[in-house]
């Protein structure tokens, strides 16, 4: 791989970036694997994340957040320049209710990276079960300028 094509963020840096996201921290979302163009994460079931107290099923907002985060990470793992990205759109299908008290895993693949837009598909699933959600998302690359101190750090990587 030539210098220009090398991913700008390595695994360690991406893990640091994700850990610095406040909303990821309060959800207890953990990144478990990152490759170029692919990311995996897990979230443990918690009673304060439930959407329907009658069934104990997680709120859709939790799955949307997990899928959005892991999809963004799949994009970040592939870009060859230090940059910010932003979700343009995200469509999520809730295939079946996530079973209460079990963790949910999410896997995202950035399958196409153009100059301005990244295309990502993702799935959420539980152990020994079928998928609970499927999503397609697009991300805008270079969505906003970086603070000067980040740029300086970026040129050193």
Given the rule CB under 8 A, which residues bind another protein? Answer: 20-26, 47-54, 58-62, 64-69, 84, 86-94, 144, 146-147, 150
60 or 112, CB closer to another protein? Answer: 60
Cα-Cα-Cα-Cα dihedral of 13, 17, 19, 23, to 10°? -160
Distance in Å, CB of 84 to another protein, minimum? 7
Return the number of the residue (5 or 130) whose C-beta is nearest another protein: 130
Q: What is the closest distance, in whole angstroms, from the C-beta atom of residue 125 to another protein in the complex?
A: 17
Instruction: Indicate the helix (H) or strand (E) that contains 108.
Output: strand 104-113
Distance CA 20, CA 111 (A): 26
C-alpha dist (Å) from residue 1 to 6, 46, 149:
6, 43, 28
Residue nearer to another protein on the CB measure, 4 or 96: 96
């Amino acid at each position: 791989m030539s210098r220009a094509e090398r991913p700008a963020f390595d695994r360690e840096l991406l893990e640091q970036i994700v850990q610095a996201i406040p909303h990821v921290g309060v959800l207890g979302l953990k990144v478990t694997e990152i490759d170029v163009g692919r990311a995996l994460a897990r979230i443990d079931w918690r009673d304060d994340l439930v959407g329907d107290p009658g069934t104990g099923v997680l709120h859709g907002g939790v799955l949307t957040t997990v899928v959005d985060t892991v999809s963004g990470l799949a994009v970040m793992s592939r870009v060859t320049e230090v940059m910010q990205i932003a979700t343009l759109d995200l469509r999520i299908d809730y295939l079946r209710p996530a079973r209460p008290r079990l963790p949910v895993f999410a896997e995202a693949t950035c399958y196409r990276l153009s100059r301005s837009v990244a295309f990502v598909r993702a799935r959420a699933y539980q152990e020994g079960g079928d998928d609970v959600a499927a999503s397609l998302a697009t991300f805008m690359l270079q969505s906003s300028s970086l603070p000067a101190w980040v740029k300086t750090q970026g040129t050193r990587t």
